[in-house]
Structure 1
Amino acid sequence: MDNPESLFSRVFKGRYYRNATPLDPIKSYSPSYGWQSIVSARPLVNKGLIKRVGSGSSISVWDDPWIPASRPRSAKGNGIHFYPHLACGIL
């Protein structure tokens, strides 16, 4: 995660999480011992994971879970979003 251009990261991304991140719940067939170890550590990493906001372009105000719950839930309601472009950092 810290060095996505490393050989290790590129090989694992190509094999296990092409269109995702290593922390996404991904099912893989015939996973290596290394990948199984990463998958088993995900809950611990997620528990202590901190997301840096930075410019806010990767933050989705409407879809990201903001309040911890037994299962993730989005910030969607039945009303109208007054600022629908908050997901892409544009007001």
Structure 2
Amino acid sequence: MRWSNLYKPKHSGGLGFRDFKIFNEAILAKQVWRLMHREDSMLYRCLKARYFPKHSILEAPVGFRPSYAWRSICAARHVIMDGSRWRVGNGKSIKIWEDAWIPGQGSGMVLSPIKMFPSDAKVEDLIIDVEARSWDKSLVEGIFHHAEASKILRIL
């Protein structure tokens, strides 16, 4: 079978593949997802020990002389990051200005300019009481644009 036949539709004698690059990226992104959710697997433990002992898999640097597999996994992480949002919970791991955490907003990122709050602040700094599920309403309304503030206040 010739390579050109791979892209032909099935009814024309091909295999019906549309774009190998996108297909490969999707398969690698699925592997990233598995690694994120199966931290007890041998593969996760080996990769973590070698490539990201101090980071999460999404934040890990590619590193010095990485394996082809690790480089490929790193290249596909953006698929997961572009399509996912944080669930707030206690907000300890979520960076206000860097992470996608606002539901119903295009990218999920904060669009309001950074005001009076440090650029490395976490979402937990906006919560008064996690168990009571309450935000510091005056702080949220003072930092964010009205539309964002209303979306944030509906999260907990």
Settle same-fold status: TM greater than 0.5: yes
Unaligned ranges ≥5, structure 1? none
User: For the Cα contact (< 8 Å) 1:17–1:26, is it kept in 2?
Assistant: yes
Residues 29-83 of structure 1, C-alpha deviations (whole Å, 9 max, x = no match): 111121011111022111112212223333344x544685xxx999642x368xx
Q: 1:48 to 1:90 in 2, by over 3 A?
A: closer
More helix by share: 2
Larger Rg: 2
Query: How far has the Cα of 1:90 moved from its partner?
Result: 5.8
Name the SS for the 1:45 alignment partner: helix
Residue type of the partner of 1:16? Y
Unaligned ranges ≥5, structure 2? 1-35, 129-156
Q: 1:20 to 1:75 in 2, by over 3 A?
A: farther
Count of residue pairs brought into register by the alignment = 84
Residue type of the partner of 2:55? A
Identity %: 29
1:7 aligns with 2:42: yes
Instruction: Please report the TM-score for the alignment, with normalisation by the length of structure 2.
Output: 0.42
Residue matched to 2:57: 22
Residue matched to 1:48: 83
User: For the Cα contact (< 8 Å) 2:39–2:45, is it kept in 1?
Assistant: yes
Residue type of the partner of 2:124? A
CA distance in 1, matches of 2:117, 2:52: 34
Instruction: Please report the TM-score for the alignment, with normalisation by the length of structure 1.
Output: 0.65
